[in-house]
Structure formats: structure tokens, C-alpha cells
């Protein structure tokens, strides 16, 4: 039992260390200044400090969560409600906006704090569709597709 408690204590310390070092948590606490566009009870939207395009905006929960599914339903609803509100403004810049989230390290998440990118897009921005991120497509048999479908439904 003692080893389990020590393991839990180490995990709690790791979480606290991640939060203390999280650039987004520092923005929320005011330690790092940013251009805040809008704020709600649980979420905040601000201009990305390293924009891919003009108007690149991030929307994040105020509470530190690494993945979307770690958030409460209330926080999730608040976050995506703010995404919806800000998206209307960002989309007016070019008429098209990429809405993206890397949900976990293996998905490309560089900062382990949930964040939604709103990236204004245009024909000349040099980025492509989502399928251009991958070098090959996956070929699944009907039975493999059915198996995945049954796990997800």
C-alpha cells in the first residue's frame, strides 16, 4: 500500500510541475501577457504568439487539462461555445478557417493543455487539406471497418 501512495504522490507532483510550467496556465494567471479577444467563466480566447496566418487565434480552458475528454461537460460546452463565437469573427478575415485540436502528444500536441486553433485560411497560404498531413492513406477491410465502427458506436 505504501508504494501505491508514493506513486500517487509522484504523479500529483508531476501534474503540479506541468501546470506550473504550462505557458497557457501562465497566460491565464496573467504572468504572460497576451492579446485576449474574449473570456468566459471557463475559457479564454487570444491571439497566437506564433501565428501561422493573420488572425490565428487559440481558445483554451482556464483549468489545466491535457485532453478534451479530461474536461467536465460544463467546461467542454463553455470552450466550444466560445470557439463558436470567436469563429464568426475570425472567419470574416478570409472567409475560411481551419478549426483544429491536437488531442494528445501522439496527435501532435506540443503544449499539454487543451487548445483549439482557429487559423484563417486562404488559397495562397501554402497549407493543404487535412489529408496532406499524412504520407499514405489507410486501407481497411470491411471486417476491420466494422470492428472499429462497433467499438466507437
Full strand arrangement of the beta sheet holding 97-100: 36-39, 43-47, 57-61, 116-120, 97-100
- Cell numbers for 1, please give them: 500500500
Mean pLDDT across the chain: 89
Give the CATH number of domain 2-152. 3.30.428.10
| Range of lowest pLDDT (2-16, 29-43, 115-129) | 2-16
- State the average pLDDT over residues 79-99: 97
Write down the pLDDT at residue 16: 53
What pTM did the predictor assign? 0.84
Average pLDDT over residues 36-57: 96
Indicate which residues carry an active-site annotation.
115
Q: What are phi and psi of 152, to 5 degrees?
A: -90, -25
Nearest-angstrom CA–CA distance, 151 and 153? 6
Cα separation values, 122 from 16, 55, 119, 130, Å:
40, 12, 10, 14
Amino acid at each position: 500500500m505504501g508504494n501505491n501512495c508514493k506513486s500517487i504522490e509522484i504523479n500529483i507532483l508531476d501534474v503540479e510541475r506541468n501546470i506550473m510550467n504550462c505557458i497557457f496556465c501562465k497566460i491565464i494567471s496573467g504572468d504572460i501577457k497576451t492579446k485576449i479577444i474574449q473570456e468566459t467563466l471557463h475559457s479564454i480566447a487570444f491571439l497566437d504568439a506564433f501565428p501561422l496566418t493573420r488572425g490565428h487565434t487559440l481558445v483554451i480552458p482556464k483549468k489545466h487539462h491535457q485532453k478534451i475528454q479530461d474536461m467536465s461537460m460544463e467546461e467542454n460546452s463553455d470552450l466550444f461555445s466560445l470557439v463558436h463565437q470567436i469563429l464568426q469573427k475570425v472567419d470574416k478575415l478570409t472567409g475560411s478557417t481551419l478549426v483544429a485540436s491536437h488531442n494528445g502528444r501522439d496527435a501532435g500536441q506540443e503544449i499539454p493543455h487543451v487548445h483549439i486553433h482557429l487559423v484563417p485560411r486562404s488559397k495562397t497560404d501554402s497549407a493543404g487539406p487535412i489529408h496532406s498531413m499524412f504520407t499514405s492513406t489507410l486501407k481497411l477491410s470491411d471486417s476491420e471497418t466494422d470492428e472499429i465502427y462497433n467499438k466507437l458506436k
